[in-house]
Chains A and B, each alone.
Chain A
Amino acid sequence: MIYWDYAAAAPPYDEVVQTMEQIMKLHYANPSSMHRAGLEAGRLISRSREVCAAALSVQPEEIVFTSGATESNNLAIKGAALQYQGRGRHIITTELEHPSVYESCVQLQKLGFEVTFIAPESSGVIDPFRIAEAVRRDTILVSVMHVNNEVGTVQPVGAIGTAIKAVNPRTLFHVDGVQGYGKLPVSLKEWGADLYSLSPHKVRGPRGVGLLYVKKGVELFPLLTGGSHESGQRAGTENVPAIVASAKAVRMSGEQRVELCGRLLPLRNRLLHFLRGIPEFVVNSNEEGAPHIVHFSYPGMKGEVMARKLEELGMMVSTRSACSSRLAEPSRILLSMGRDIPAALGGIRISLGDSHTEADVAALEQAVVAAVKALKVAEGGM
């Protein structure tokens, strides 16, 4: 079996597992306790904050630990909307966002906020001009993802940030960086980002921790109350071992980014080239995208059928993003990019990681050829 679903969850580094184990054994104290054991646990958290801040070139007090990127995105969007509704009640996002952003915005719509969803070009890229056009005096927040989790499109977040601030300097800019961190350069200051979400378990860290960068001076209405944890921005006893291990994963994956991309790019390009050679497929990713995601559709063949066939042949792939892959609905992302319903139903995502080799890709190619051959009879019949 070969695992091709790094974008859903990446296997943790050995060092991450060791750190988790050692800290779970040694530092079980509650960081809020005032005794020495509590103080030590508290220092582990503050050291983790420093490490994460250094990886993002920001200040430690600008990092909030959450329970995961879903919470980070919820906090960024709903927290900012509730805090700044006095300034205005207009929010801008795109049609390509992860459900945790998209549905937070839909929820806010129900609360009376006005949300503008910007459609991408057919390439999947958001035109910064389209965003700038939509920014108004009462626009309090714009949320755009760095890398699309389904097809790997890279958004020009720097140009988007500049465009937003040129129209309304008070509009906050949130970047969902979950699929971008560890793969692409991150420069929050240059982007003009006020909020940035990151998920350690996508970069070989543990589950159960998310990061949210909150630029100094930006206040969020807390979604969880009940303690002064995380400077009052997020109540709840800190998950000490997972936070320390997350800091490690964030640091390591940041340090190894360039080298990792150097290895992934040739593999991804080879896959793109190969998939384009299969007449049955529509390839939705391209060379401009993130180095670890390759997405294609088999119009007329449900994605899940293709995925099950590939699994039979030893390849674990995903149908679009893990958070929505069990829904038998066409992909919102692909429809938004202008694909038709059959293509949007037949999507397959392959995501690459550290462990993959040329031989693995060759094996995957063989499996894909075999799968298409086997499924050909049922084409269009589903």
Chain B
Amino acid sequence: MRTHEPDAVAGRGTSIEYADMLLLRFGEFTLKGKNRARFEKTVLRHVKEMIKPYPRAVLGKEFGRIYVQLNGEPAAELAGALKNVFGIASISPVKVSQSTLEDIISVSRRLLEILSPAEGSTFKVNVRRVWKEFPHGSIEMNKLVSTPLLQGYPGLTVDMRSPQLELKIEIRHDHTYIFCENIAGVGGFPLGTNGKAMLLLSGGIDSPVAGWSSMRRGLEVECVHFYSYPYTSELARQKVVDLARVLSRYAGVIKLHLVPFTEVQTSFTGLGQDNLMITLMRRAMLKIAARLAEREGALALVTGESLGQVASQTLPSMNVIGRATQLPLLRPLVMMDKSDIVELSKKIGSYELSILPYEDCCTLFVPKSPTTNPNLRIVDKIEATLPGYEDLLAAAVDRTETVQITPYGGEKPADLVPAEAGIKEEWF
């Protein structure tokens, strides 16, 4: 099979635009025996969610595979969306023919014309006869199909061991599937099959990548964002909604919890402990996120921390900050280089949003010299003696707004400044 390289279009065709159907194969989890049915069902549900904008596409399921009949829906667009479904290892665009020798040959020839292999390419036909009543056996069919194809394409040579082009033909009772290309899927575990966690989503580059990485390992993720209006702008909050929407492309739907953080954050000012500000703030975030996790039934917190990146991400900082919660803290990016994280964020589609220059609450009140080595005893003492601290945290949880975000939806939280009031839909 030929691996699909999106850049290698020049000169050579791709069959994707001409496909009648997409064949989706499951990934590594097929090895895990007893969870299999549950996993496959999850992938199917996820696929169903992703094809919602394409009403004519029809799903079918078989052992180890999902079929998406296109019925005129755009194949490339759908394949682009479906290859992001966690648990999908690969996708093949399929041409469908009738199960007669003549039609199989003619559709195969058409497919070959579309692919227009370069002179000297090696080639092989691989027939699988699922419908045993078909008059010709697999070995015989290999010959019956490849002979006329080779006559039409004298530039091709047969290579049975490692051909550059392997034309696969599956003969079934109702139809025959013919395919050649293989588009790599994202792989991983089906969404949510490994439980649920809360993702601390800032406006930066790292946290969306941490979210995607967690989702890819089968975690269902709910996003938690802290905002400090009026110190942070409406735009900063909108940016997080947009980032959550990017993540929802991989989840179908994602929950976003927006926590008003102004009171908690300002309570740390004027303590005369400016260098601990970030430590206190991060701990407060974990405490609030943990309470939301309890409410939502999540069993871990996910952060975008990467060791040594900033003052709050040194090991001593992580130690003191992490003790603010009993829940496991998952840090998918902890040992990754920034440049690799950036690469991933570009691939996921969050990078362009992440670099928009709106201040989030983490960049506010940043002291001149934040500590890289906070003292747990002092931090504990400050929190214990801060007047009304418990109530502030509880109030932030209570006033949290939760929005369900979908890939193509227009969901958004209530405006902080109700600017829609003066806008009439009749104007458009």
Contacts and interface: CB of A to CB of B under 8 A. Distances in A.
Interface of A: 19, 22-23, 26-27, 34, 36, 39-40, 43-44, 47-48, 51, 168-169, 189, 244-245, 247-248, 251
Contact of A248 (B417, B420, B421, B428): B428
Contact of A19 (B10, B234, B420, B427): B427
B9 interface: yes
Contacts of B234: 39
Interface SS of chain A: helix
Contacts, number: 37
Contacts of B74: 189
Interface in B413-428: 417, 419-424, 427-428
Most chain A Cβ neighbours within 10 Å, of B234, B421, B422: B422
Nearest to B352: A61
Most chain B Cβ neighbours within 10 Å, of A22, A23, A40: A40
Top-4 shortest CB links A-B: A39-B419, A19-B427, A40-B419, A51-B428
Given A40-B423, A189-B74, A248-B427, 10 more contacts: A19-B427, A36-B417, A43-B419, A43-B420, A48-B428, A51-B428, A168-B10, A247-B428, A248-B428, A251-B428
B233 interface: yes
A307 to B, nearest CB: 38
B423 A44 contact: yes
Contact of A22 (B233, B420, B427, B428): B427
Nearest to A170: B10
Nearest to B410: A50
Interface in B1-43: 9-10
B422 A40 contact: yes
Contacts of B423: 40, 43-44, 47
Contacts of B421: 40
A23 B417 contact: no
Contacts of B10: 168-169
A164 to B, nearest CB: 13
Given A34-B233, A39-B234, A169-B9, A244 B427 contact: yes
B233 A47 contact: no
Most chain A Cβ neighbours within 10 Å, of B9, B419, B424: B419
A44 B423 CA distance: 7
B interface bracket (residues with beta carbon within 8 Å of A):
10 to 19
Contacts of A189: 74
B427 A39 contact: no
A114 B411 CA distance: 49
A275 to B, nearest CB: 40
Contact of B422 (A19, A26, A34): A26
Given A39-B234, A169-B10, A27 B428 contact: no
A146 B150 CA distance: 42
A23 B427 contact: yes
Most chain B Cβ neighbours within 10 Å, of A22, A39, A44, A48: A39
23 contacts: A19-B427, A22-B424, A23-B427, A26-B422, A27-B422, A34-B233, A36-B417, A36-B419, A39-B419, A40-B419, A40-B421, A43-B423, A44-B423, A44-B427, A47-B423, A51-B428, A168-B10, A169-B9, A169-B10, A189-B74, A245-B427, A248-B428, A251-B428
Nearest to A137: B10
A233 B153 CA distance: 48
Contacts of B420: 40, 43
A245 B421 CA distance: 19
Nearest to A247: B428
Interface string B220-249: 000000000000011000000000000000
Interface in B375-428: 417, 419-424, 427-428
A244 B423 CA distance: 11
A64 to B, nearest CB: 17
